[in-house]
Structure 1
Amino acid sequence: MSLRRAFRSPTGDGVPAPKAAPPFDPELSVVLADLGKESQDPLTPDNLAARQQQDAAARPRPTVEELRADGRFDVTELRVPGPPDGPEVTLVSARPSGLVGPLPLLYYMHGGAMVMGNAWSVLPRILREWAQPLDMAVISVEYRLAPGAQYPEPLEDCYAGLVWAAAHAAELDIDPDRIIIGGKSAGGGLSAALALLARDRGGPEPLGQLLLCPMLDDRGSTFSGRQMSGLGPWDLTSNATAWQALLGDRYGAEDLPPYAAPSRAVDLSQLPPAYIDVGSAEMFRDEGVAYAGAIWQAGGQAELHVWPGAYHGFDSVAPKAALSQDARNARARWLQRLLADRRT
């Protein structure tokens, strides 16, 4: 069945119609306006293939040599065993040059709504903002994309890579007890799902989960989803397109497992500490806040930030804005505290 024929918009049944929306932060608003209206055109089944091609052509994909940044980082591409009956998984392993380990590891999953993005393009910023100042190693995962691959294939790619990295910690010169999983948007959702899957399969046990504007809920039923529809760079139509690309015939199913959409989880106990951040002016706001609340209710640890006037992916769109700098600093402080706690 084609995605176009099967596409169903979220109904929002039972969700009151919003009367107003939070305003965008002034700095962020200017940057978004400068990008033009095309930057806010929704993703649809009709334009999905074209948008994927555009993204692949336009998104920077630095070479290993470029990632090494004149010797500041050691970078290696690894091809490791994938999930049962699946292909090998490519991991891009990087660390500041000259550091003697074992180093803590950030195991990272890129964004792109499960349909776009790659493991290489996110690394320059991660290496600059986290790996170098915090003396961390990083592994970025090249998971399969929807709709060519559907649930559970992308998640199983991520799990296979995590299992391999933990088992080969000595070879990688990393500390298997200080592995933090993380990602942004789709990668944030994969990180949350990976934490659930690792818990239920008996490991590996991450030290923490870094969930940045995470894509958690396939149902499209939150108030913020309706409130921000048509506003900002990501809305209900785009979200429904991406979820249906990932889930196929299982889109909207009542019995969808939490590993497919973590907001479906009824048991959030025994999870690693979470850092969750969202914008007050993005559709993922309410599902992120609810996920943090559910972790607290289960007796777990979560640090929640709701950045005022921020739209989805604001710190990537407007990296020089004051709010973006505050968000990056808060994430770095959480990582520092988490790693310091494990040392003591």
Structure 2
Amino acid sequence: MEWAKFIFNKFFFVGSLLVAAMFIVIALAVHIWQTTDEGKLPAKTAVILHAVNNNLVSLDIDIQPPQFLSRSSGGGNPLLVEERYVPVKDDGQIPVRMYRPQGEGPFPVILYYHGGAFMEGYGNIETHDNIVRSLAARTQSVVISVGYRLAPDYVFPTAVEDSYAALLWAKEHAEDFQGDPSSIAVAGDSAGGNLATVTAMMSRDRNGPDLTAQVLFYPLTTFRDIELESREIYDSGYYFLSRQVMYLARDLYTPNEMMRSNPYTSPLHADDLSGLPPALVITAEFDPLRDEGEKYAQKLADDEVPVQATRYRGVMHGFISLYEIMQSGRYGLQEASAFLRQAQEGEIEQMPYQLQVRQPPQGMDRAREQAEAFAIAAYLLGRTGVDIFRR
């Protein structure tokens, strides 16, 4: 029995050393990935950025084996999903996808405009399916994801006109899909955030539908070359959006330089934003579009539009779409959903403008984020054997 106990103790000791060594390697890898020229990143943000930028997973974060990491919007009855086509100018038509709660309604209506730099191959209805589904479930609204036409085949103002045509169609046909034509909002991310607010402007200018709200996730608000600190610091592409892509989008979507001064491409420079619906503007700390989004929120407030603006620290461009694995993304969706519900009830009031800064997850949420970051790192290292010193 003594020899068996001796062998067991030896194996236990060696096993403990191996576990400790593995933990040290994982911790070292995470620490290295967190360290950037722009400052120290939260562990979860660092691991995701490392994985995507080193092509270890796709941009839709295909980290499937540790499935406990992925949390859906969950709960409630499944949504009814329907594909339709909306007529637009030039005798064309565009696809839309409707996500509708079960029941008789009428339900509030939200037009959602996907991001993707206005260009083919960078974003579409499919790439934004998760965020639109979650908004529909959380707000109990009919959310219509709009497949507007993209550059280079279609330049400005095609995407804007398509977006507005979808709004008019939704207003006219709301009752056909249990929607409430008196409660319509617009929302979008990045390029789609631009289209959402521009659609609201066009509706105001053309005496179109009155909107209850506009929700803008890290919106692009100017095509002009102006000095913005966030564009200088975070334009490398490591944070999911590069200066190269921004220039390409500008050249393809607005090939004529005069287009870039149009308020329907650069709403930040519009003469008058008054009369627009209440706005929620969410920005990300590590995002080249951060400053122009926050300047736009300030300009809306200056023109007496009720505005709620929040900067989320420790996250990158596109973080809302990663809500299934990032707590900050879930926070952002919760904030957007609460804002939309309040707007639907007419409860948004004019308040003095103030940019709210939301800190990275704290307490138990922070502990969980840390644990999940280490689990993802272990999975990535185990699956690829990648050099941990590569950023």
What TM-score, normalized to structure 1? 0.79
1:81 to 80, 87, 108: 87
Higher Cα Rg, which structure: 2
Q: How does 1:190-201 map to 2 (within 5 A)?
A: 190-201=195-206
Q: CA deviation at 1:316?
A: 2.6
Query: Would you say the 8 A contact 1:181–1:209 is kept in 2?
Result: yes
Q: CA deviation at 1:132?
A: 2.1
2:161 matched to 1:153? no
1:32 to 49, 59, 63: 49
Q: Distance in 2 between matches of 1:38 and 1:88?
A: 36
User: What is the match of residue 113 of structure 1?
Assistant: 117
Query: Would you say the 8 A contact 1:280–1:307 is kept in 2?
Result: yes
Structure ranking higher on relative contact order (CA contacts 8 Å, 6+ apart) = 1
Judge which range, 21-30 or 295-304, deviates more. Answer: 21-30
Q: How does 1:123-272 map to 2 (within 5 A)?
A: 123-127=129-133, 129-221=134-226, 222-230=228-236, 231-250=238-257, 253=258, 256-272=261-277
Report the AA paired with residue 106 of structure 2.
P
Long gaps (5+) in structure 1: 1-19, 40-53, 59-70
Q: Distance in 1 between matches of 2:346 and 2:109?
A: 15
Q: Distance in 2 between matches of 1:258 and 1:24?
A: 35
Judging changes above 3 Å, is the alpha-carbon distance between structure 1 residues 72 and 277 closer, same or farther for their aligned structure 2 residues?
Answer: same
User: What is the match of residue 61 of structure 1?
Assistant: none
Deviations 1:2-49 (A, max 9, x none): xxxxxxxxxxxxxxxxxx74543332111111223459xxxxxxxxxx
Query: Would you say the 8 A contact 2:284–2:316 is kept in 1?
Result: yes
Query: Would you say the 8 A contact 2:113–2:195 is kept in 1?
Result: yes
Q: Distance in 2 between matches of 1:288 and 1:150?
A: 23
Judging changes above 3 Å, is the alpha-carbon distance between structure 1 residues 120 and 208 closer, same or farther for their aligned structure 2 residues?
Answer: same
Q: Let me know the Cα RMSD of the aligned residues.
A: 2.7
Query: Would you say the 8 A contact 2:109–2:183 is kept in 1?
Result: yes
Q: CA deviation at 1:235?
A: 2.3
Deviations 1:178-216 (A, max 9, x none): 111011111111101111111111111211101001121
Judging changes above 3 Å, is the alpha-carbon distance between structure 1 residues 176 and 263 closer, same or farther for their aligned structure 2 residues?
Answer: same
Q: Distance in 2 between matches of 1:342 and 1:76?
A: 31
Long gaps (5+) in structure 2: 1-36, 63-76, 349-391
Report the AA paired with residue 102 of structure 1.
P
Q: Distance in 2 between matches of 1:291 and 1:340?
A: 25
Q: Distance in 1 between matches of 2:109 and 2:153?
A: 30
Q: Distance in 1 between matches of 2:322 and 2:179?
A: 32
Q: CA deviation at 1:245?
A: 1.1
Q: Distance in 2 between matches of 1:244 and 1:303?
A: 32
How many positions carry a matched residue from both structures?
Answer: 295
User: What is the match of residue 90 of structure 1?
Assistant: 95
Q: CA deviation at 1:336?
A: 2.1
Structure 2 counterpart SS, 1:233: coil
Judging changes above 3 Å, is the alpha-carbon distance between structure 1 residues 342 and 173 closer, same or farther for their aligned structure 2 residues?
Answer: farther
Sequence identity percentage: 29
Query: Would you say the 8 A contact 2:112–2:132 is kept in 1?
Result: no
Q: CA deviation at 1:318?
A: 6.3
Q: Distance in 2 between matches of 1:171 and 1:294?
A: 37
